[in-house]
Chain A
């Protein structure tokens, strides 16, 4: 092969490699960023069905303190999870609920406010590497405007609730 052709091939090989890297980097996820008190968290957008505000919260007995009660959405009861009680042992004074999209179950999360929806590259999500018990409740974190925002792991909260109810 002549060097001219070889150089051409070398150049093509690099271009294809770049394209592949670009394609992989383009895999993006949509996250909803919200606040609980002054702390920011995120959830994968497809896990959220709707946001509602100012609906009555009804008490239910025999559940852990982080379950604040149930709300009525279209005639169906949704369990309300208060993450502020879960992490800070204090009730959140708020009336905004994120209704989650969970197959065969009904769960809502009490939050202070919705901040924004962001699209991030999957590669920008920092995995959780520590083995701290609290970190099991997060899927990873992103950096947004120099703040680290943890992405909630909904399944882990449901597992914790199941365990707490069984032990009561």
Chain B
């Protein structure tokens, strides 16, 4: 069962989500989609027992990438 993670467009940037999808490609299959107000990632970990942990780290990675973009733009 894929784990769905949504990221509010008012907070997170698209490039941050895309960066995380690429970075975690070796650990999970990630499907990226975009809705009106949020980015949605469906994550299926290669190792099911690690899925929750991978999803948590994925979320932090997106946040970190977003903050990095904010820093570059400031």
Partners in one complex: no
Q: Which residues of A does B touch, CB under 8 Å?
A: none
